[in-house]
A and B are shown apart, each in its own frame.
Chain A
Amino acid sequence: MKEQSEETPQGPLPVVDFLKIPEDGDPYLEGFRCTSCDAVYLADRAACSKCGARDTLKTTRLSTQGNLYVYSIVHRSFPGIEVPYVSAIVDLEGGGTLKGNLINIEPDPEKIEMGMPIEVVFGDALGRVDRDGNTYLSYFFQPRG
């Protein structure tokens, strides 16, 4: 058993830096958009990797609506990771592409349609906690409508 820190566990913490949890309001995803070429990123960088422009990346709130681009159904993963799950790549409306778990759908190629409308939802990170006992908030994809 790992040594616990003496601090009281906190949570939920964002699972990735681009997930924002405001003190008052709903969680959302925030990326960076290049004001020169419109490319969207999930993290800041020294210059735009598409056009090379500097100082042009501004924060932008990402849409929770999108479409499934492609997926894989994962049946074997690293030890301790529960399977199966659907690894999905989703194009968000207005720019930005995310990878995540597609939930609330049968993990069956007959049931999953590439291009299908998807929404981003937020929830606990499958009960995973870090070594200090902190809980996390994650994002997931689910079929829309």
Chain B
Amino acid sequence: MSEDVYILGTDMIKFGRFPDRSVPSLGAEAALLALDDANLTIQDMEAVCCGNLGQAAAMVGQRILQEIGQTGVPVVNCANACATGATAFREAWMGIKAGLYDLVLAVGVEQMGRGLLGGAGGAKGIPKEGLLGSQTMPAVFAEAGMEHSRKYGTTFEQFAKVSVKNHHHSTHNPKAMYQIETPLETVMNAEMIAYPNTKLMCSVNVDGAAAAILASEKKARELGMGRAVRVKASVLTSDPWQERDLVMPDVNSCTRLAAKTAYEMAGVGPEDVDLVELHDCFATAEILHYENLGLCGEGEAGRMIDEGESAHGGRIPVNVSGGLLSKGHPLGATGIANIYEISTHLRGEAGARQVEGARIGLTHVIGLGSACAIHVLEKAS
């Protein structure tokens, strides 16, 4: 096995709505923050991997360099649904792992509209939404959650508790979109979007950007391991065939496959992980991933949320950043923002939301259609 890859710098902009900014300018801001965090410059970077979905055909990576320095290095633009940012990070990791580069910038950025995400149906014929069921994301993930209810009796209240927890977590994250408490009654009585997901159980569409500087082991040693974070595993999967694929996008099997591979690559098990940032695009989704990632046994996810095991201070804190539900979900940025969050805890720099003594963390994102990316990160020194 070749040498490890390290994160030497990482940062994100505060997520929010910036209709007057451009996509490249948001990405450039995050890239400069990450470079500053690593005490490096764009001239030190040997390649750039950029994740963006909304302008996937418009060379966002190159346009970011137009804002911070056109050095002529290779730029790759990635699009992989909501796994876009994590895919860009992994492209950077692969370049270093292959021995091609010692320092690579990974940046993810997205500018989102408001409102529902989902397929509005083909251009041909008539609209199918509300005629052949729903393709809106809240409904698709509601149905995925109902599969868990069907198997294990998981309740609306248990799903709602995920949002209570994550919104509470974000009150300690100044870079989250929201810092507001949402008690259980507030979550359950919020506007019903697609049962069992109320409005407060849907992730927030926001603008955002996050970036990371990846380094080879040789370069990390040269520059100093003090605040470095080791990438123990980087895994990307697509969705293996499932019986109901055609009408029910499957976020479970690709996550389980990625988790198994990631734990093997990292040489750790779920019991070794100190905190997790997982893809809570909807409250229903978080429940599924407790089991998919092996954070609890099969059918125990409802109990896990009931007993506060995934809350800050619990057995395995999940989404202490506030998660996609409260921090916000700028699609192309999300995967790298998760990596920023975990890295910040491993460095002991997470302030009021610090998970004390964190040494190993895991990030997980899902791109519906489907892609799953998992990274296992470890404190380097």
Contacting pair A101 B147 (CB below 8 A): no
Any B CB within 8 A of the CB of A7: no
Q: Does A87 lie within 8 Å of B133, measured CB to CB?
A: yes
A62 within 8 A of B: no
A100 within 8 A of B: yes
- Of A70, A87, A130, chain B has the most CB atoms within 10 Å of the CB of A87
Bin chain A's interface residue count.
35 or more
Chain B residues with a Cβ closer than 8 Å to the other chain, count:
38
Q: Is A89 an interface residue (CB 8 A)?
A: yes
Residue of B nearest to A138 (CB): B131
Q: Is B243 at the interface (CB under 8 A from chain A)?
A: yes
Q: Are A99 and B131 in contact (CB under 8 A)?
A: no
Residues of A within 8 A of B196 (CB): 72, 109
Contact B134–A97 (Cβ < 8 Å): no
Q: Measured between C-beta atoms, what is the minimum distance from B57 to chain A in Å?
A: 24
CB <8 Å contact, B139 and A114: no
Q: Give the total number of A-B pairs whose CB atoms are below 8 A apart.
A: 131
Cβ–Cβ contact A125 & B139, under 8 A: no
- B142 close to chain A: CB less than 8 A: yes
Chain B residues closer than 8 Å to A89, beta-carbon distance: 133, 143, 244, 247-248
Most chain B beta carbons < 10 A, residue from A70, A81, A125 = A70
The answer to whether A70 and B132 touch (CB under 8 A), given A75-B193, A78-B116, is no
> Residues of A contacting B147 with CB < 8 Å?
69-70
Contact B247 A98 (CB under 8 A): yes
B133 and A128 contacting across the interface, CB-CB below 8 Å: no
**Which of A50, A87, A100 contacts B139 (CB under 8 A)?**
A87
The proximity string for A residues 70-89 relative to B, scoring 1 for CB distances below 8 Å and 0 otherwise, is: 11111111101111010111
Chain B residues within an 8 Å CB radius of A101: 130-133
Q: A70-B146, A76-B116 are in contact. Are A99 and B130 (CB under 8 A)?
A: no
Distance to closest chain B CB from A51 (angstroms) = 8
Residues of the B chain whose Cβ atoms lie less than 8 Å from the Cβ of A70: 143-144, 146-147, 149-150, 248
Quick check: B130 and A74 within 8 Å, CB to CB? yes
B149 touches A16 (CB 8 A): no
A126 at the B interface (CB under 8 A):
yes
Contacts known (A15-B125, A75-B193, A78-B120); A97 close to B132, Cβ less than 8 A:
no
Q: In the bound complex, how far is the Cα of B124 from the Cα of A16, in angstroms?
A: 10
**Given contacts A101-B131, A101-B132, A15 and B243 within 8 Å (CB-CB):** no
| B127 contacts the other chain (CB 8 A) | yes
Which residue of A39, A42, A77, A136 is within 8 Å of B126 (Cβ)?
A136
Binary per-residue interface labels of chain B (164-195) against chain A in the complex, 1 for a CB within 8 Å, 0 otherwise: 00000000000000000000000000011111
A129-B126 contact in complex given A72-B146, A78-B120, A101-B132, C-beta closer than 8 Å:
yes
Bound state CA distance, A120 and B27, in angstroms?
A: 49
| B143 and A130 contacting across the interface, CB-CB below 8 Å | no
Taking CB atoms, residues of chain A closer than 8 Å to B120 are: 78
Docked Cα-Cα span, A76 to B116, in Å, equals: 9
A75 touches B194 (CB 8 A): yes
Asked if A75 and B246 make an inter-chain contact with CB atoms under 8 angstroms apart, the answer reads: no
Q: Mark B141-171, 1 if CB is under 8 A from A, else 0.
A: 0111011011000001000000000000000
CB–CB B193/A87 < 8 A? no
**Chain A residue at minimum C-beta to C-beta distance from B124:** A130
Identity of the chain A residue whose Cβ is nearest the Cβ of B193 in the assembled complex: A76
Q: A78-B120, A97-B244 are in contact. Are A125 and B133 (CB under 8 A)?
A: no
B136 at the interface (CB under 8 A from A): yes
B248 adjacent to A126 (CB under 8 Å): no
A77 contacts B244, CB within 8 Å?
no
- A10 touches B (CB below 8 Å): no
B128 CB–A CB distance under 8 Å: yes
- A89 to B247 CA separation, bound complex (whole angstroms): 7
Residue in contact with B150 in the complex, picked from A74, A114, A138, CB distance below 8 Å? A114
> Does B129 count as interface, using CB distance less than 8 angstroms?
yes
B150 adjacent to A41 (CB under 8 Å): no
Given contacts A87-B134, A125-B126, 11 further A-B contacts (CB under 8 A): A39-B241, A41-B246, A74-B139, A81-B129, A81-B130, A82-B130, A89-B133, A97-B248, A98-B247, A128-B131, A130-B125
A-B residue pairs, 6 tightest by C-beta: A72-B142, A87-B133, A87-B134, A99-B247, A73-B195, A70-B146
9 contacts between A and B (CB under 8 A): A16-B132, A69-B244, A70-B150, A71-B143, A74-B193, A87-B139, A125-B131, A136-B125, A138-B131
